[in-house]
Amino acid sequence: VEPEVDGRIEILYEDEALVIVSKPAGLPVHPGGRFHRNTLTYLLGQAYRHEKLRLAHRLDAETSGVVVLTRKQAYAAPVQKQFHQCQVSKLYLALVQGHPSWTQCQCDEPISTSKQERGMRTIDPTGSASQTEFEVLQLLDGPTALVAAKPTTGRTNQIRI
């Protein structure tokens, strides 16, 4: 029995080349571990039975956000290449615990290439280069803060680390 997930996927845009969706947090992008049918690709495969949608990129299961898929193989390679070469600009909003001492900063720390405890990555001097720009948008009660995170690389768990 697979764990329950929020399967409410919103179609944001589609044309002859692309399907762009909003993925809820907690929904894995593709099958793995205990998840086989409760995944974005499986659920979209049911909705688009006569097509083979191809992921242009991935989001961590815990992350909500926009996911781009292509409708044909001819579109997949160029769109995937744009993501791989960091030609796509991404912006994430995060609620963080505490009030940062800075209003803007850049994090430039290498991230491990293998999973650590509980499947997370960690900062590792021998890891892959990782860069993220952060900006505090609003200080909230709690104390928490609303922070914009703009990754210039695409590493697993990059923003959470």
> Which residues are known catalytic residues?
60
> What would the 3-class secondary structure string for the chain be?
CCCCCCCCCEEEEECCCEEEEEECCCCCCCCECCECCCCHHHHHHHHCCCCCCEECCCCCCCCCEEEEEECCHHHHHHHHHHHHCCCCCCCEEEEEECCCCCCEEEEECCECCCCCHHHCCCECCCCECCEEEEEEEEEECCCEEEEEEEECCCCCCCCCC
